Chain A
Amino acid sequence: MSTKVSSPLPGKPQPGNTPAGTGTAAVSGKPVTWRTPVLLTAFGLIALVFFGLMAPNQTASFGISTGEDFFQLPALEVNAFAAGIVLSVLLLGLAAYAVYLKSQNRPAPGWLTVSFIVLFVAAFLIWVVGGARTPSISLAGLIAGSVTLAVPLVFGSLSGVLCERVGVVNIAIEGQLLGGAFTAAIVASMTQNPFIGLLAAAVAGAVVSMVLALFSIKYLVNQIIVGVVLNVLVSGVTGFLFSTVMQANKAQFNSPPGLDIIEIPVLSSIPIIGPILFRQSLVGYLMYVAVLVVWVGLFKTRWGLRVRAVGEHPQAADTLGINVNATRFWNVTLGGAVAGIGGSFFTLVAIDSFTKEISGGRGFIALAALIFGRWNPIGAFFAALLFGFADNLQSIVTIIGTPVPSQFMAMLPYLVTVLAVAGLVGRSRGPAASGIPYVKG
């Protein structure tokens, strides 16, 4: 196991199969491992056996249009058996290409893995729906629901990106989400104004983050320890205040007015993308803005360059006159504010009151999305969407009655993450100095 992996430049899109990419691999003498081709082949075979050969000869129907669209598209109907065979053959083709590349000592490019995942998910979906009692689901609803479920995950993983890029591991995303959800609920209830609640959620997330920053930067306490403990602390404080304050006077403290769904006229009636992009709550729109702003900020501005320098090589950054610890402190605080906004989604958009542990471990899935998305805002966004998709699919397949137990569907995001960190999507490496406190001298 060598650590001298020629990892792509952070933030740059995967160089893939460009001559430069292969060139670095050759220069650093890094052997291309068999891991990716072998894993792809294995999953291709699984797809062939389960989704292809063992698929029921039933037609799966995917509704595309909803009643609100301004033109209707016919539902997509495919034969589960035929589609399974075709898709799994395509998957095996991709795997074979990866094997061929390996034999040339070239790594599998990023697009190959991504398209493999997309095709695999499609094959899986057709198989699940085809085997259901009622083999018909609304694709539009499935995707729109996935985006909705992904909103807190996206904010959480953006928080992770902001913190880890500057060299602080943020395990406290869960606590930031929970703190945001609680504060949004209580402040919005007291002021009867959801926008003030949203603002308060950001402040609450930032406060949790400041504790993380204070302990990990000033007192040099291990960042993972602080994160783990902060999750417990926030869970305890919010649980305590929920039982004592909110339960005692629900009307005054736990009935926040919600943020309404804002529909953009005309655009929101476009099939599929309409509901995703133009029929969202304020938090949902903020999500898209945040992803873009963080991406542009990190990779196109001077601030972002400094942040990444601090996260990759704090000593070099210090030598160039960047104040490492101050940069870390404010970035971590900003990350907390972002996660806090994500937390407000639970109490201002999804449900209209706070309950204990309302974030339900989503902070950890956001952490997984961050890694799966390779510490890149855009990547984290799509990873979070994938996890939101799995989450939504889980509830849908329970309704339509498939042979797959819902517990296994619920398990999927975690299994996928294990595969991801174990190297399916290439070696995922975080910022070099992430988790290491910086002491000048």
Chain B
Amino acid sequence: MSDKHPPKHAAGEHSGKAHEATPAAEETAAVVSVDTAGGAMEPSAVPATAQSGQLPGGPDTLLRKIFTGSGMVSVLAVLLALVIGGLLIASTDKQVATTSTYLFARPSDFLSAVWNAATRSYIALFQGSVFNPRGNSVAAQFAPFMETLTIATPLITAGLGVALAFRAGLFNIGAQGQIIVAGILAAWVGFALHLPLGLHLLLVLVAGIIGGAFWGGLVGLLKARTGAHEVILTIMFNYIALYFLRYLLNTPAFQRPGETNPISPILDPTAVYPQIFGTQYRLHLGFLLAIAATVLVWWLLNRSTVGFEFRAVGANPKAAQTAGINVSRSTVLVMAIAGGLAGMSGVAQVAGTEKVLTDGVAATYGFDAITVALLGRSTPWGTFAAGLLFGAFRAGAVQMQIQTGTPIDIVLVVQSLIVLFIAAPPLVRAVFGLNPRRKKPARAAKSRQAATTGGAA
């Protein structure tokens, strides 16, 4: 394209990012996205860490490596988020409030009340998501785990879609809309057409994937053609899809006959996913497809030419362009595939869990998918694991609210804190005292001074 900078400008200073070239840059500087776009594409919205799935920095000893490595940071981030969530639960607990009135007389009461409030909720969360020892049979004891897998299914596939887009340097906030459009098409094929067993389900799946791919690909196309930012586009497309769904659910074609509520007919039995472990669990074929999708995305990213192009574009669109990769085509393609993956979530919802189409078809899966992908560091298997974790949170939270009265919203708090902490490894390491101690006092003093002078200016 038409950026004809003289060679001496090629170091990237025209985009104000010459700091990359400086070897003296702090370890943190490497976290800054390495893509000096400056060209036709917007600079990547996604930091290098999210794209590579690795943490920068040079740990020196093995011990330090273990304690400061990305895996450890993830574990510590989850721990820290759970602690803060526990404190929030405790802060609204009645027992804690009463004991706090005589805090200085008997602090042990207060502390044990805090401990009890937090752990009671978390134990309920665990029992609702993994293993319930009070179940009558082995099957009932593992029922929560099956529920976790069921809820994790749409999270995993939509998360994969977001993660794939991340790797190509695109910030796909549109999983929500892609799920909705996929749900519309899949549900319509499911209840309006009457086809033989097998073929019907296949068609439902294909329709959903096409729907999601269309909605995602449209964003990619607009971005490639006009340079519009995909974050804005996807947010707007989410709303457009939602209102379109609400409109459809009030039309005769989609509304269940004899029903005034906006709800579609139930999908044909031939159009729904079979339940894997019998009818006692809601777990359906969609989960196996989610595993397959994870393998597929892994293969696509790490073993295929297209995936290499995606990663190249994500790392540095301009360099990719120079190397002969068609950036526009990659953008459209990656958004379409991401949409198709999110579309699988839509199919899992209408053909697996819900079996009808309502305006809550996407619930908050599309937004949760972003946190899932971030937690999974945009790697396929990381996203899979993160999907399981958040699925467990979701499943357990229902049980937690019933047993202890702790609102489900606490899960949102813990989830978002986890992602925040994971995105800022230096913070987590500072909290746990694992930061390498170099130049720290000097820097802190400098920034404090900066804050006072700069703020006044």
Residues of B within 8 A of A437 (CB): 32
Residues of A within 8 A of B414 (CB): 236
B200 to chain A minimum Cβ distance, whole angstroms, is 29
Task: Scan residues 22-75 of chain B and give those whose CB is less than 8 A from a CB of chain A.
Answer: 22, 24-26, 28-29, 31-33, 38-40, 43, 45-47, 50
Tell me if A71 counts as interface (CB < 8 A to partner B).
Answer: no
A361 touching B239 by the CB < 8 A rule?
yes
User: Of B108-116, B152-160, B223-231, B335-343, which stretch is located at the interface?
Assistant: B223-231
Binary interface profile of B, 1-39, with partner A (CB < 8 Å = 1, else 0)?
Answer: 111000000000101111100101110110111000011
Interface residue from B19, B412, B427, B453 paired with A233 (Cβ < 8 Å)? B412
B454 touching A330 by the CB < 8 A rule?
yes
A390 to chain B minimum Cβ distance, whole angstroms, is 12
A250 to chain B minimum Cβ distance, whole angstroms, is 15
Residues of B within 8 A of A441 (CB): 19, 22, 24-26, 29
B231 touching A224 by the CB < 8 A rule?
yes
Cβ-closest chain B residue relative to A239: B409
Tell me if A84 counts as interface (CB < 8 A to partner B).
Answer: no
Complex CA–CA separation, A361 to B247 (angstroms): 19
> With A1-B227, A306-B457, A326-B451 in contact, is A222–B247 under 8 Å at CB?
no
A236 touching B423 by the CB < 8 A rule?
no
B407 touching A439 by the CB < 8 A rule?
no
Task: Scan residues 183-202 of chain B and give those whose CB is less than 8 A from a CB of chain A.
Answer: none
Complex CA–CA separation, A427 to B229 (angstroms): 11
Task: Scan residues 279-297 of chain B and give those whose CB is less than 8 A from a CB of chain A.
Answer: none
Tell me if B122 counts as interface (CB < 8 A to partner A).
Answer: no
Tally A-B pairs: CB < 8 A.
Answer: 213
A1 touching B1 by the CB < 8 A rule?
yes
A-side interface mostly: helix
Interface residue from A1, A326, A421 paired with B232 (Cβ < 8 Å)? A421
Cβ-closest chain A residue relative to B251: A405
> With A235-B412, A245-B92 in contact, is A225–B16 under 8 Å at CB?
no
A326 touching B455 by the CB < 8 A rule?
yes
Tell me if A43 counts as interface (CB < 8 A to partner B).
Answer: no
User: Of A281-289, A376-384, A406-414, which stretch is located at the interface?
Assistant: A406-414
Tell me if A323 counts as interface (CB < 8 A to partner B).
Answer: yes
User: Of B137-145, B264-272, B346-354, B366-374, which stretch is located at the interface?
Assistant: B366-374
Tell me if A34 counts as interface (CB < 8 A to partner B).
Answer: no
Interface residue from B22, B374, B410 paired with A236 (Cβ < 8 Å)? B410
Interface residue from A303, A314, A330, A415 paired with B16 (Cβ < 8 Å)? A314
Complex CA–CA separation, A408 to B240 (angstroms): 9
A320 to chain B minimum Cβ distance, whole angstroms, is 11
Interface residue from B15, B407, B457 paired with A243 (Cβ < 8 Å)? B407
Residues of B within 8 A of A421 (CB): 226, 228-229, 232-233, 236
> With A2-B2, A2-B3 in contact, is A411–B409 under 8 Å at CB?
no
Size of the B side of the interface (Cβ < 8 Å), in residues, is 77
B239 touching A439 by the CB < 8 A rule?
no
Cβ-closest chain B residue relative to A408: B247
> With A220-B29, A236-B410, A313-B16 in contact, is A418–B233 under 8 Å at CB?
yes
> With A1-B1, A220-B32, A423-B228 in contact, is A436–B38 under 8 Å at CB?
no
Interface residue from B45, B88, B235, B246 paired with A407 (Cβ < 8 Å)? B246
B409 touching A407 by the CB < 8 A rule?
no
Residues of A within 8 A of B43 (CB): 435-436
A221 touching B47 by the CB < 8 A rule?
yes
Residues of B within 8 A of A432 (CB): 15-16
Task: Scan residues 395-432 of chain B and give those whose CB is less than 8 A from a CB of chain A.
Answer: 406-407, 409-417, 419-420, 423-424, 426-427
Residues of B within 8 A of A224 (CB): 45, 171, 231
Residues of A within 8 A of B320 (CB): none
Tell me if B79 counts as interface (CB < 8 A to partner A).
Answer: no
Complex CA–CA separation, A330 to B40 (angstroms): 32
B413 touching A435 by the CB < 8 A rule?
no
B415 touching A232 by the CB < 8 A rule?
yes
Binary interface profile of B, 442-453, with partner A (CB < 8 Å = 1, else 0)?
Answer: 000001001101
Residues of B within 8 A of A144 (CB): none
Cβ-closest chain A residue relative to B245: A407
Cβ-closest chain B residue relative to A437: B32
Residues of B within 8 A of A423 (CB): 226-228
Binary interface profile of A, 221-258, with partner B (CB < 8 Å = 1, else 0)?
Answer: 11011101110110111011111110000000000000
Tell me if A351 counts as interface (CB < 8 A to partner B).
Answer: no
User: Interface centre among B45, B237, B367, B454, by most A CB within 10 Å?
Assistant: B454
Say which size band chain A's interface belongs to.
35 or more
Interface residue from A171, A222, A229 paired with B371 (Cβ < 8 Å)? A229
B39 touching A3 by the CB < 8 A rule?
yes
Tell me if A315 counts as interface (CB < 8 A to partner B).
Answer: yes
Cβ-closest chain B residue relative to A238: B409
B413 touching A233 by the CB < 8 A rule?
yes
B32 touching A215 by the CB < 8 A rule?
no
Interface residue from B26, B227, B236, B423 paired with A221 (Cβ < 8 Å)? B423
Complex CA–CA separation, A364 to B47 (angstroms): 22
Tell me if A12 counts as interface (CB < 8 A to partner B).
Answer: no
Residues of B within 8 A of A361 (CB): 239
Tell me if B277 counts as interface (CB < 8 A to partner A).
Answer: no
Tell me if A368 counts as interface (CB < 8 A to partner B).
Answer: yes
Residues of B within 8 A of A303 (CB): 457
Residues of A within 8 A of B411 (CB): 236
Residues of B within 8 A of A244 (CB): 92, 406-407
Tell me if A295 counts as interface (CB < 8 A to partner B).
Answer: no
Tell me if A269 counts as interface (CB < 8 A to partner B).
Answer: no
B416 touching A236 by the CB < 8 A rule?
yes
B216 to chain A minimum Cβ distance, whole angstroms, is 14
B25 touching A439 by the CB < 8 A rule?
yes
> With A244-B407, A330-B454, A441-B25 in contact, is A232–B3 under 8 Å at CB?
no
B15 to chain A minimum Cβ distance, whole angstroms, is 8
A220 touching B228 by the CB < 8 A rule?
no
Tell me if B250 counts as interface (CB < 8 A to partner A).
Answer: yes
Cβ-closest chain B residue relative to A421: B228
A439 touching B19 by the CB < 8 A rule?
yes
Complex CA–CA separation, A76 to B227 (angstroms): 43
Tell me if A125 counts as interface (CB < 8 A to partner B).
Answer: no
User: Interface centre among A1, A242, A315, A325, by most B CB within 10 Å?
Assistant: A1
Complex CA–CA separation, A96 to B263 (angstroms): 46
Tell me if B125 counts as interface (CB < 8 A to partner A).
Answer: no
Cβ-closest chain A residue relative to B37: A3
Interface residue from A239, A407, A433 paired with B407 (Cβ < 8 Å)? A239
A367 touching B29 by the CB < 8 A rule?
no
Cβ-closest chain B residue relative to A248: B92
B47 touching A219 by the CB < 8 A rule?
no
A363 to chain B minimum Cβ distance, whole angstroms, is 10
Tell me if A40 counts as interface (CB < 8 A to partner B).
Answer: no
Tell me if B243 counts as interface (CB < 8 A to partner A).
Answer: yes
Task: Scan residues 317-341 of chain A and give those whose CB is less than 8 A from a CB of chain B.
Answer: 322-323, 325-327, 329-330
B378 to chain A minimum Cβ distance, whole angstroms, is 11
Complex CA–CA separation, A171 to B171 (angstroms): 12
Cβ-closest chain A residue relative to B411: A236
> With A222-B50, A241-B92 in contact, is A415–B420 under 8 Å at CB?
no
Residues of A within 8 A of B40 (CB): 1-3
B19 touching A240 by the CB < 8 A rule?
no
> With A3-B39, A414-B239, A418-B233 in contact, is A323–B457 under 8 Å at CB?
yes
Complex CA–CA separation, A433 to B416 (angstroms): 26
Complex CA–CA separation, A418 to B239 (angstroms): 11
Residues of A bordering B, CB below 8 Å: 1-4, 35, 171, 215, 218-222, 224-226, 228-230, 232-233, 235-237, 239-245, 303, 306, 313-315, 322-323, 325-327, 329-330, 356, 361, 364, 367-368, 371, 405, 407-408, 410-411, 414-415, 417-418, 421-423, 427, 432-433, 435-441
A236-B416, A417-B232 given. 6 additional CB < 8 A pairs? Answer: A222-B46, A222-B423, A361-B239, A415-B240, A421-B229, A427-B227
Q: List 11 A-B contacts (CB under 8 A).
A: A224-B231, A232-B412, A240-B412, A245-B92, A326-B453, A326-B454, A329-B455, A414-B239, A415-B240, A432-B16, A436-B17
